[in-house]
């Protein structure tokens, strides 16, 4: 089975009562060698977002997960990408 499975935790509400809205609070940004500066956004349960992206399953893939105090364009994420 070559399907990717994801599970986002926590679901619903954060321990401190902050609501979590998956569509706005959680992003999957795809950077590739073809598009190193402008990411493609991938959406959960939307196969077309992956099929329409520049993702190639035969290429090495790195998944970088950051906490709430950093952004995807922050130093950590960009240094790994570059």
From the first residue on, what is the mean pLDDT of each consecutive set of 10 residues in the chain (82 residues)? Answer: 58 61 80 88 87 89 80 78 75
Give me the residue label for tokens 């998944």. 63
16-50 burial by CB neighbour count: b if 16+ within 10 A, else e? eeeeeeeeeeeebeebbeeeeeebbebeeeeeebe
**pLDDT at res. 16:** 62
Model pLDDT, residue 17: 62
pLDDT, position 33: 87
Q: What is the pTM of this model?
A: 0.65
């Amino acid at each position: 089975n070559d399907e990717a499975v994801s599970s986002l935790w926590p679901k619903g509400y954060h321990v401190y009562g902050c609501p979590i809205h998956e569509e706005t609070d959680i992003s999957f940004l795809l950077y590739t060698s073809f598009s190193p500066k402008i990411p493609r956004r991938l959406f959960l349960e939307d196969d077309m977002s992956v099929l329409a992206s520049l993702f190639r399953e035969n290429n090495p893939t790195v998944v970088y997960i950051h906490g709430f105090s950093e952004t995807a364009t922050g130093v950590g994420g960009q240094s790994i990408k570059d």
